[in-house]
Amino acid sequence: MAANPMQTLPISVPADLAAKCHFDEGVLYVASDSVLDPKIIDFEMRLQRMGALRRKEQTSLADINARKTPKAAAESRIAAGQELRTALAFLDQGVKMKASDIHFMFRGPVMEVKFRVDGFLDQYAEMPSEEGMRIISALYVSSDVKNAGSFSFNAPIAARVSKGLPDNLYAVRFASMKSDAGGVVVLRLLYNAVASRSYDNKIDLVTLGFSEEQARLLWDMAAAPNGLIVIDGPTGSGKSTTLKYALQWVHEHYPQFNILTVEDPPEYPIVGAQQIPVLVQDSDVEDLSARSRAYGNVINTTLRLDPDILMVGEIRDGVSAISALRAAITGHRLWTTVHANDAWEAVNRIIDLLREAGMVDPMPVLANTQNLTGLIAQRLVPLLCPNCKRPLSEHPDAIEQQTLEELMAAVPNLDPHRVFVRGPGCKHCVPMADTAEQMRADSRRGILGRTVVAEIVRPDQTLLDIARSKGIPDARRFWLKHRNGKVIADNAIEKIVGGLVDPQVARDFVGPLITAAQIVAGSDSELSGGV
Ligand SMILES: [Zn+2]
User: What CATH number is associated with residue 145?
Assistant: 3.30.450.90
Alpha-helical (H) ranges within 431-515 are 436-441, 461-470, 472-482, 488-497, 503-510
CA distance 130 to 80: 19
User: pLDDT band at 193, cuts 50/70/90?
Assistant: low
Q: What's the CA-to-centroid distance between 444 and ligand 1, angstroms?
A: 9
Clarify whether residues 62 and 97 are in a common domain.
Answer: no
User: pLDDT band at 530, cuts 50/70/90?
Assistant: very low
Q: What's the CA-to-centroid distance between 381 and ligand 1, angstroms?
A: 16
User: pLDDT band at 70, cuts 50/70/90?
Assistant: low
Q: What's the CA-to-centroid distance between 389 and ligand 1, angstroms?
A: 7
Could you write out the DSSP letters of every residue in 26-54?
TEEEEEGGGTT-HHHHHHHHHHHHTT---
Clarify whether residues 364 and 240 are in a common domain.
Answer: yes
Q: What's the CA-to-centroid distance between 445 and ligand 1, angstroms?
A: 6
CA-based max dimension of the chain: 84
Contacts of 297 (CB under 8 A, 6+ apart): none
Alpha-helical (H) ranges within 311-385 are 318-329, 345-356, 363-366
Q: What's the CA-to-centroid distance between 428 and ligand 1, angstroms?
A: 5
Residues in the chain, total: 531
Q: What's the CA-to-centroid distance between 386 and ligand 1, angstroms?
A: 7
CA distance 219 to 121: 34
According to the model, what pLDDT value does residue 458 have? Answer: 95
Q: What's the CA-to-centroid distance between 9 and ligand 1, angstroms?
A: 44
Clarify whether residues 401 and 497 are in a common domain.
Answer: yes
- Contact between 310 and 327 under an 8 Å Cβ cutoff? The reply is yes
pLDDT tens, position by position, 390-437: 999 999 999 999 999 999 999 999 999 999 999 999 989 988 777 888
Q: Is 324 exposed, middle or buried, given 0-12, 13-18 or 19+ CB atoms closer than 10 A? A: buried
Q: What's the CA-to-centroid distance between 112 and ligand 1, angstroms?
A: 26
Please say if the pLDDT value at position 7 is more than 50: no
Least confident of 1-5, 128-132, 307-311, 473-477: 1-5
Clarify whether residues 290 and 213 are in a common domain.
Answer: yes
According to the model, what pLDDT value does residue 9 have? Answer: 46
Clarify whether residues 95 and 242 are in a common domain.
Answer: no
Least confident of 1-15, 71-85, 360-374: 1-15
Which helix H or strand E contains 182, and what residues bound it? strand 182-191
Residue finishing a domain among 191, 226, 258 = 191
**Is 467 among the domain residues?**
no
Residue finishing a domain among 138, 157, 191 = 191
Q: What's the CA-to-centroid distance between 400 and ligand 1, angstroms?
A: 21
Clarify whether residues 209 and 350 are in a common domain.
Answer: yes
Clarify whether residues 158 and 179 are in a common domain.
Answer: yes
Clarify whether residues 352 and 440 are in a common domain.
Answer: no
Clarify whether residues 401 and 368 are in a common domain.
Answer: no
User: pLDDT band at 69, cuts 50/70/90?
Assistant: low
According to the model, what pLDDT value does residue 46 have? Answer: 75
Clarify whether residues 332 and 424 are in a common domain.
Answer: no
The DSSP symbol for 78 reads P
Please say if the pLDDT value at position 278 is more than 90: no
Parent domain of 71: 5-76
Q: How many domains does the chain have?
A: 4
According to the model, what pLDDT value does residue 284 have? Answer: 41
- In whole angstroms, what separates CA 307 from the centre of its chain? 22
What's the helix, strand, coil split of the chain in %, to 5? Answer: 40, 20, 35
**Is 285 among the domain residues?**
yes
CA distance 191 to 269: 9
What mean pLDDT is predicted for residues 176-190? 89
Please say if the pLDDT value at position 26 is more than 70: yes
Clarify whether residues 345 and 211 are in a common domain.
Answer: yes
The DSSP symbol for 308 reads S
pLDDT tens, position by position, 281-292: 554 445 667 777
User: pLDDT band at 364, cuts 50/70/90?
Assistant: very high
Clarify whether residues 277 and 350 are in a common domain.
Answer: yes
Least confident of 196-205, 376-385, 489-498: 196-205
Q: What's the CA-to-centroid distance between 497 and ligand 1, angstroms?
A: 19
pLDDT tens, position by position, 121-161: 888 888 999 999 999 999 998 888 877 777 899 888 888 89
Q: pTM for the full model?
A: 0.73
Rounded to 5 degrees, what are φ and ψ at 497?
-65, -30
CA distance 120 to 422: 14
What mean pLDDT is predicted for residues 302-325? 89
Q: What's the CA-to-centroid distance between 446 and ligand 1, angstroms?
A: 4
According to the model, what pLDDT value does residue 529 have? Answer: 56
Q: What's the CA-to-centroid distance between 493 and ligand 1, angstroms?
A: 21
Amino acid code (one letter) for 483: R
**Mean of per-residue pLDDT scores for the chain:** 85
